[in-house]
Amino acid sequence: MPPIRLAKAPVAPSRRPNCQLDAYVRTKLVELKIIAGWTYKQIHQEYLSIPIGTIKTTINRTNQRIENETSPRSGRPRKLDEDNKLKLLNAIDTNLRITYENILATVDHKVK
């Protein structure tokens, strides 16, 4: 008969898969590696919810970040920026019977 396992595995804080690390955690990981001289394995044992591959890439990409900001994602640029979206909403709020042509004119026909 196999022995009964009484000890439970440590519970790591829940973390969404594929989510980004916030700036505080990134800074903490880099400090532990560079300043404190910890290994990746030691850092992973401290932060069990973060995969060791994520720890490695986060530390290796430190020099690429400007002021510890998250890099912008690739993809098609937005047609309307926040100012144009606000213009549209304000135009609709002021006149509920606004025509399609007048709506397009408020954003200089950037969208169809």
- The string of pLDDT tens digits covering residues 35-84 is 999 999 999 999 998 999 999 999 999 888 888 887 777 888 889 999 99
Residues 29 and 59 in one domain: yes
Q: In terms of domains, do 31 and 57 share one?
A: yes
* Whether the predicted pLDDT of 11 surpasses 70: no
Considering the domain architecture, whether residues 28 and 59 belong to the same structural domain is answered as yes
Domain membership flag for residue 91: yes
From the CB of residue 45, how many other CB atoms can be counted at a distance below 10 Å?
12
pLDDT tens figures, 15-36: 666 678 888 999 999 999 999 9
Can you tell me the distance from the alpha carbon of 103 to that of 99, in angstroms, rounded to the nearest whole number? Answer: 6
Does some domain include residue 18?
A: no
pLDDT at residue 9, rounded to an integer: 46
Boundaries of domain holding 54: 23-64
Look at the chain and report how many structural domains it folds into: 2
Domain membership of residue 5 (yes or no) is no
Q: Which has the higher per-residue pLDDT, 103 or 66?
A: 103
pLDDT at 72: 77
Predicted confidence at residue 18, as pLDDT, reads 66
pLDDT bin (cut points 50, 70, 90) of residue 13 is low
Query: In this structure, is residue 53 part of a structural domain?
Result: yes
